[in-house]
Amino acid sequence: MLRSLVGSEMCIRDRATNLAENLCLLLGRILHVEGGGGSLMGRVGISIADFAQSWCNAVRNVKTMSWKDDAVRGFIACLQQQQQQGGPAWPPAAIASFLDVVGSVATSASSDLKQAMKGVITHFQQQQQQGWNQAWGGYGQAQKKRLQINMGI
């Protein structure tokens, strides 16, 4: 697991500039390597909703790189597992922070990552309508346009 976690990009200092960003990338990468980390999250007894906003706020500012995409993939896989199990609702601010992450990776994301992000957004729209409406309503016009162009939202 360590080899697939670390890979060939040992140093990410030039792209992730602080401890929070590096920890969030590491956690997302662990979740990616663990296939969504459902068992890992279950063992530690926390929900991704407990730290989603902080994670998203740190990761959205990291420059584009494969580690960021893999971290987002792992985060989304874990989120989807918890959504399927009826995990807790996210506050509107956390949904808005997730949209910031989507906006930060959407232009360079692979089609499978875009599809996964859109699936999470669709879940928010359908299952957490009030939170979604508050988050989307408070989102800036330029940000909305970027998401509409890059993600078809």
For residue range 76-88, what is the model confidence (pLDDT) as tens digits?
988 888 888 887 8
Tokens 């669709």 belong to residue: 122
Q: Which residue has the higher pLDDT, 28 or 134?
A: 134
| Position 93 pLDDT exceeds 90 | yes
Residues 1, 44, 75, 119, CA torsion sign: positive
Q: Work out the burial of residue 144: count CB atoms within 10 Å of its CB; fewer than 13 is exposed, 13-18 middle, 19 or more buried.
A: middle
pLDDT at 67 over 60: yes
Instruction: Give, in degrees to the nearest 5, the angle at Cα 60 between 59 and 62.
Output: 65
As a whole number of angstroms, the distance between CA 22 and CA 16 comes to 6
Alpha carbon separation from 24 to 7, 34, 90, 117, 150 (Å, rounded): 17, 15, 18, 18, 24
- Return d(Cα 25, Cα 18) in angstroms, integer: 11
The model carries a pTM of 0.81
Percent of the chain with pLDDT over 90: 33
Mean of the per-residue pLDDT values for the chain? 82
Q: Please name the residue that has the structure tokens 């530690």.
A: 44
Quick one: pLDDT at residue 1?
41
**pLDDT band of 115, cuts 50, 70, 90:** very high
Query: Which residues make Cβ contacts (< 8 Å) with residue 23, sequence separation at least 6?
Result: 58
For residue 9, the model assigns a pLDDT of 44
Contact call for residues 151 and 101 (beta carbons, < 8 A) = no
Residues 47, 11: Cα–Cα separation, whole Å:
29
